[in-house]
Amino acid sequence: MENVKSIYTHAPGGGVEIGDLPLERLPEQNVRLKVLYSGLCGTDRGIVSGALSFAYNPEGSDRLVIGHESLCMIDEIYEESDEFKKGDLVVPVVRRPGDCVNCRIGRQDNCSDGDKHEAGITGMNGFMREYFYDNLEYLVKVPDPGMRDIAVLTEPLKNVVKGFEVFDVISKRSVYANEYSTFEEKRCMVIGTGAEAFLYSMVAVEYGFTVTMVNRHPLEERKIEIAKEFGIQFIDYVSDPKGAMANGNDLLIDTSGDPGTIFKFLKTLNYNGILVLFGTNGKAPSAQVDGSDIDFLIERNITVAGSVDAAKIHYIKALEYLRKWKYVYGDSLSHLITGDFPPENLDLFSRKPSGEIKTVLRW
């Protein structure tokens, strides 16, 4: 069996190593992929630090190849296909279905019994390696080869597209839009300033919201500039607590996973406000909630929704956004990718480069 350079951990304990590991091909796998780029995110760092207790190794193995964000090229194809051919750029989907009703209709992102797997996260080897075998069924084709520089953002953006699908469903419970049935003058606050926060903010701008990102420290000048290019405002809520709490918000999106911060900004939600919980951090400190917090949620008809992962349809929509944004924002879009490193740079898993939005590994 051939060996390929791979980055792996021992889940759920953590750690990160790089080395040559055997590349297995299962009988149902009909495509060989060459990995071009891997994105690195909060989930990868959480797995490596041992903060995500839900991560686990493939059955019978004591290690997990990590990585779920990638842009790949079809290296070999072993079956006739009208859709795919050798050389196509593709994004493999993260979550693989189990047997529940949601999984059986391609909505494993809403799996109803937890019996699914996620590449590089739960029980299935991921994409941080030179090559791997997969099934055409789990690939999404990048429609335009000119998107090679930004298509690695498809996977993190697909989560955001799903998050907004959740928002679309929930916002129907009352009249949420303004009198012109648009979201202009509605306010969206995003907690956190990482890649997912930027992508959530950009889609919120698309919807017509006035968007503010917040963090507990100042932001590098360069990141503030990039945010401005996309029409996003930033507030450091420690140095400007009044500014951060000044306006009511209609939509609050959390990418921090920090309960204390979430409850603090929850109190800025307007009537019929919506909180989308997205950030995961099992090591975040606990926060106090009292009866008045619960009263606040009830009296204002506030909806709190968790949102995880996404389905193929969201990957396709994410690619549509990226294609449009490349046209609208030009070179600014690629500024979201703030660093491009060889895979041997394992310190990236424990240290965020300064000014990071999205760090990628180039294979």
**Is 338 among the residues that bind Zn ion (CB under 5 A)?**
no
If the CB atoms of residues 14 and 42 are measured against ligand DN4, the closer one turns out to be: 42
135 binds, among Zn ion, ligand BGC, ligand DN4, none (CB under 5 to 8 A by kind): none
**Is 49 among the residues that bind ligand DN4 (CB under 6 A)?**
no
**Which residues within the stretch 115-154 sit at the binding site for ligand DN4 (CB under 6 A)?**
none
**Is 216 among the residues that bind ligand DN4 (CB under 6 A)?**
yes
> Residue with structure tokens 């929704």?
305
CA distances from 127 to 34, 266, 298 (A): 10, 36, 43
What is the x/- site pattern for ligand DN4, positions 64-93, by CB under 6 A?
A: ------------------------------
Of all helices (H) and strands (E), which one includes residue 223?
helix 221-229
**Which residues contact residue 127 at a Cβ distance below 8 angstroms, ignoring those fewer than 6 apart?**
35, 38, 65, 67, 68, 69, 70, 72, 92, 119, 120
Determine which residue in the list 100, 297, 305, 308 makes contact with ligand BGC, applying CB under 6 A. 308
**Which residues within the stretch 7-66 sit at the binding site for ligand BGC (CB under 6 A)?**
41, 43
Q: In angstroms, what is the minimal distance from the CB of 222 to Zn ion?
A: 22
Output phi, psi for 356, to 5 deg: -65, 135
Q: Which amino acid makes up residue 78? A: Y
Q: Which of 339, 346, 341, 337 is nearest to 363 (CA)?
A: 341
DSSP 309: -
What is the x/- site pattern for ligand BGC, positions 78-117, by CB under 6 A?
A: ----------------xx----------------------
If the CB atoms of residues 155 and 258 are measured against ligand BGC, the closer one turns out to be: 155
Determine which residue in the list 134, 254, 258, 309 makes contact with ligand BGC, applying CB under 6 A. 309
Determine which residue in the list 280, 281, 332, 345 makes contact with ligand BGC, applying CB under 6 A. 280
Q: In angstroms, what is the minimal distance from the CB of 9 to Zn ion?
A: 14
**Is 159 among the residues that bind ligand DN4 (CB under 6 A)?**
yes
Question: Can you read off the two tokens belonging to residue 292?
Answer: 């008045």
Q: How far apart are CA 111 and CA 103, in angstroms?
A: 6
**Is 308 among the residues that bind Zn ion (CB under 5 A)?**
no
8 A C-beta contact, residue 253 and residue 200: yes
**Which residues within the stretch 173-232 sit at the binding site for ligand BGC (CB under 6 A)?**
none
Long-range contact list for 283-287, CB < 8 A, 24+ apart?
283/49, 283/51, 284/256, 284/257, 284/258, 284/259, 284/260, 285/258, 285/259, 285/260, 286/259, 287/258, 287/259, 287/260, 287/262, 287/263
By CB under 6 A, name the binding residues for ligand BGC.
41, 43, 68, 94-95, 118, 121, 155, 159, 280, 308-309
